[in-house]
A and B are shown apart, each in its own frame.
Chain A
Amino acid sequence: MVTTDEKGPLTAKKKSVIIRSCDGDEFLVSESAAVLSTSLKKILEEKEDRLIHLSDIDNKTLAMVIAYLSTHADDGLSDDLKRSFDQEFVSGKEFDVLKYLVLATDTLQVTCLCYTVAKKMADIMKNKLVEWVRREFDIQNDYTPEAEAEIRRLDAWAWDDRQLEDD
């Protein structure tokens, strides 16, 4: 499957690349959008063919990143519009979705988006119980009770659980 990016069919003049997600979906992206990712830019400089296979980014996440890249590559949009796009982009997204996004933007080296997503995740994480963090990040507590007590002793002031949230 080949999906064109948001700007619609590309003209013959504009160079484009095909990016394939780990689950096999292919996205046609203008080169000007692709090179906003430092990793993609490096790949394009090094290889001849225009197909890039990303083995660790799924189609949903890739579609979001490409929408971001295409918007930011659009010279017709003002910086203000791009900024409000960024805010809109992360607002209301589930924490789980943001996790995939931050990983993808880190891999693709899309610095600005990585920053925006990381900040949004941090805003959600603030004042949350440790149990919440474990649940949302799908992490098992691997400390012994003694090790846990030792860490709590180090920064006792941080462990006042009053007013922390669990949802």
Chain B
Amino acid sequence: MAETRLETLPEECLSHVISFTSPRDACRSSIVSGMFRDAADSDLAWENFLPSDYREIISRSVSPVEFSSKKELFRKLSSTPLLIDGGNKLIMVCWLEIRGKINTRMLSPNTTYGAYLVIQLAGRAFGLGVLPSEVSIEVGDYKTRGTIYMNHEQCKRQEVDVLSGGVERVLCARGDGWLEVELGEFYNDGSEKEVKMEFREIKGEQLKGGLVVEGIELRPKHSLNLEGFL
């Protein structure tokens, strides 16, 4: 058999193979060797990991997104939230419900995402922490739910499992002046589905107010990809 070692495989061919792995595998490929890195960092390899309509997404961004390669763009989109919609302030209600929808087309395939509600509590916030709020995520047949308490005091606590089967989550400070709470996580297998995210507190009829909502942020959870998770 002739010596056609893969060292002589064209970079483009190798990039093609890497483009079918995952962002994590592609990053790790860059450490195999210098030649492997050129293939693993190429736009050809990373094009597949970006949402198919990333051009539209970044064109809707409030601040301009600049990048020199597709890999750099992926890093930016994963590490810095992209604010597409503006914020809203809740004056006072008794029935609180926030819903968000996004198509998985706008997200990277083969990636586990966490959805986070990004908020602030105004100094005069009231009525929000009386009862736990319900949060849920639905993607196709997959559904996850949990409960959260909207209290400042519980900011630093870790997630705790509760008897109801769901997960109880708490508010965390983001370091940018906003607070966030995880609504849930899901795995995007690359097929086109609608992600429905919901936050609600409708059981307590007390008045609630002082909630400032920046939006719902989706970002990859860089834990292991659990394939076939859904």
Residues of A within 8 A of B (CB): 22-23, 56-58, 60, 99-100, 102-103, 106, 114, 118-119, 121-123, 125-128, 130, 133-134, 137-143, 148, 151-152, 155, 157-160, 162-163
Contact = CB atoms under 8 A, between A and B. Distances in A.
Contacts of B34: 142-143
B27 A102 contact: no
B158 interface: no
A152 to B, nearest CB: 7
Q: Give the 8 A-B CB pairs with smallest separation, nearest first.
A: A122-B20, A158-B27, A157-B222, A155-B27, A106-B13, A118-B17, A122-B21, A119-B20
A32 B26 CA distance: 38
B32 A99 contact: no
A123 B23 CA distance: 13
Nearest to B48: A122
Interface stretch (B4-12, B83-91, B167-175): B4-12
B163 interface: no
B29 interface: yes
B33 A142 contact: yes
A125 B4 contact: no
Contacts of B1: 23, 58, 60
A128 B36 CA distance: 15
Given A114-B16, A125-B25, A138-B7, 10 more contacts: A23-B1, A57-B2, A58-B4, A106-B16, A118-B13, A118-B17, A137-B7, A140-B33, A157-B222, A160-B223
A102 B32 contact: no
A99 B16 CA distance: 12
Contacts of B28: 130, 133, 158-159
19 contacts: A23-B1, A103-B4, A106-B12, A114-B13, A118-B16, A118-B19, A122-B21, A122-B25, A126-B21, A126-B22, A127-B25, A133-B28, A137-B6, A137-B7, A152-B31, A158-B27, A158-B222, A160-B224, A163-B224
A143 B20 contact: no
Contacts of A99: 6, 9
A102 B11 CA distance: 12
Given A130-B32, A158-B27, A56 B17 contact: no
Nearest to A149: B31
